[in-house]
């Protein structure tokens, strides 16, 4: 039988007692934890920023190829009847597709859409090239590929292109 020196046994027996006691910082309010867990105080200037148009080009954050094609079965190209809406605080947005009518509508209204800060939702897009054509029709405006079925149901619309603002739904 192999002999194990007595120092190895003693080391194994005393090892658990050699470690310092663990301290959980969140359990005890002390001078040790205060500098590390200061509560953030709200700033003194809580004034809301003035309402201004903001443009965000979300299309540059990720390649949208994974989401394409986008099809919205509740929507199709066509004419809509304008009507009043009462949706205070709603930022203007529009729905378009890759069809010729949507592209012509975008080219015609691009300046107006950009001036009001409207964002676009491409609800019928087959591929990256179609999305690029839609965006080229209105440069400088954020247009993202999104299924529009939920919007169509909630706003009771069947056709696009359409501009939706806080006060109206129009083509």
Average per-residue pLDDT for the chain: 81
CATH of domain 62-170: 3.40.30
pLDDT category, 64, cuts 50, 70, 90? confident
Count Cβ neighbours within 10 Å for each residue of 118-142 and write b for 16 or more, e otherwise: bbbbbbbbeeeebbeebbebbeebb
Q: Whole-structure pTM over 0.85, yes or no? A: no
| 13 DSSP assignment | H
Does the pLDDT at position 15 exceed 90?
no
pLDDT tens digits along 106-160: 999 999 999 999 999 999 999 999 999 999 999 999 999 999 999 999 999 999 9
pLDDT in the model for residue 66: 84
* Domain residue limits, the chain: 62-170
CA distances from 3 to 10, 13, 54 (A): 14, 17, 79
pLDDT in the model for residue 4: 60
> What mean pLDDT do residues 43-52 have?
51
8 A C-beta contact, residue 118 and residue 94 = yes
Proportion of the chain above pLDDT 70, given as a percent: 64
């Amino acid at each position: 039988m192999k002999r194990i020196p007595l120092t190895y046994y003693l080391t194994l027996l005393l090892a658990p007692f050699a470690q310092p006691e663990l301290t959980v910082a969140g359990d005890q309010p002390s001078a040790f934890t205060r500098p590390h867990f200061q509560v953030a105080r709200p700033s003194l200037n809580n004034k809301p920023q003035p309402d201004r148009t903001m443009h965000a080009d979300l299309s540059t954050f990720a390649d949208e190829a994974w989401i394409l094609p986008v099809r919205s079965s509740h929507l199709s190209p066509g004419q809509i009847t304008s009507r009043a809406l009462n949706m205070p605080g709603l930022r203007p947005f529009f729905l378009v597709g890759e069809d010729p009518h949507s592209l012509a509508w975008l080219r015609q209204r691009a300046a107006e859409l950009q001036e009001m800060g409207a964002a676009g939702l491409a609800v019928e897009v087959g591929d990256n090239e179609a999305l690029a054509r839609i965006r080229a029709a209105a440069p400088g405006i954020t247009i993202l590929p999104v299924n529009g079925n939920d919007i169509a149901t909630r706003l009771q619309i069947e056709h696009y292109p359409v501009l939706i603002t806080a006060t109206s739904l129009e083509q």
